[in-house]
Amino acid sequence: MVRIIDHLETKRVDRLVCLGDLVVHGPAPNRVVDWFRQRPEVTVVKGNHDIGATIAEDQLDRLHFFSPDSRANTEAARRALSDENKAYLTALPLEVHENEVCFTHAARGNPFALLRQPETIARGFDSLNGSILIAGHTHRTRVHHWPATRPLWCTDHPTESGTWVHELVPGDRYIINVGCTAQLKYDPFPPVCAVYEPGNRRLEFHELPDLRR
């Protein structure tokens, strides 16, 4: 967390937006949630793991867990979290709208959806109120671009570069998967954060140092 904030401060960002999953895979869930609770100026949306760590015990089996480790880590986070931090996570919104941008964890209305299947992407574009959706969840940095005059296409993270830029075209629609600032033990993708400049519609991605080293 500290390394991410330090990096963003060098970019002189005006504010921070966290796309969810504050807890579950890290070793200190209360410390992370405490950090956000003490900084109400940071915009936070609810992730699927935040739901899993706070949902009623008898509702857990309704959730989709991507692996046995995910289920085990969720149950460990549930036991560790304080009542105050559970209340904070429960109250987080699923999405936040600012002008033309919707910030959410995954698909609108579904923080468990994987933004990579064509039908999910198509439904995502259909649900857009503005022109840009910015999400995380899958850990893969990807820009889905639907120009006004051409078919949908997407751009993945260029692995040869630690920093790369997308200039968003006015009038076109985008579903942008920023990636993930954390990194799981077997995660094949690098940790990434992004800086968005709405005035000139410029999105700059930054690959962070490998957290496993």
Query: Which one-letter DSSP state was computed for residue 36?
Result: H
Q: What is the structure's pLDDT at 179? A: 85
Q: pLDDT 10s per residue in the chain (213 long)? A: 666 777 777 778 888 999 999 998 888 999 999 999 999 999 999 999 999 999 988 888 888 777 888 888 888 999 999 999 999 999 999 999 999 999 999 999 899 888 877 888 888 888 888 899 999 988 888 899 888 777 677 777 666 668 889 899 998 999 999 988 876 666 777 888 899 999 999 999 988 876 555
Q: What is the structure's pLDDT at 195? A: 92
Closest-CA residue to 106 (of 73, 144, 58): 144
C-beta of residue 195 within 8 angstroms of C-beta of residue 134: no
Q: What is the structure's pLDDT at 210? A: 67
How many Cβ atoms are within 10 Å of 204's Cβ, its own excluded? 15
Strands 132-135, 173-177: pairing is parallel
C-beta of residue 165 within 8 angstroms of C-beta of residue 204: yes
C-beta of residue 75 within 8 angstroms of C-beta of residue 55: no
Whole-angstrom Cα distance, residue 151 to residue 14? Answer: 34
Whole-angstrom Cα distance, residue 146 to residue 143? Answer: 10
Q: What is the structure's pLDDT at 35? A: 94
How many Cβ atoms are within 10 Å of 184's Cβ, its own excluded? 16
Q: What is the structure's pLDDT at 185? A: 67
Q: What is the structure's pLDDT at 53? A: 93
